[in-house]
Structure 1
């Protein structure tokens, strides 16, 4: 069971320091670089407005932007 949890952590960590577009509930969208992510998909984005916190429960889709 613990091994599955570690695999999830590694999957989420691959998004760190990537530029992404995040689709949120209510037809909202955010863009920026992920500087922190946790097991609940809560993320902190760095964008032109500074730092933005996005709750994992509001995320519908995350797409990595091509650099």
Structure 2
């Protein structure tokens, strides 16, 4: 198994989970992760619809319980 496969597996654990995403501009986005890629680009679904977050703007992602 390559490092890339391990990273993909870790990222895929977040799919269909509710998260809070902290962004570089001190804003937060909350919602359910629909898609995530190796660059940490995230597509979330929230009350405003579908939102795409660029991986370079993300500081951290935390799971909501």
Q: TM-score, normalised by structure 1?
A: 0.94
**Distance in 1 of aligned mates of 2:39 and 2:27:** 19
Unpaired runs of 5+ residues, structure 1, are none
**Residue of structure 2 equivalent to 1:11:** 10
Root-mean-square deviation (CA, aligned residues, Å) is 0.9
Moved over 3 A (4+): none
**Residue of structure 1 equivalent to 2:26:** 27
**Residue of structure 2 equivalent to 1:63:** 62
Q: TM-score, normalised by structure 2?
A: 0.97
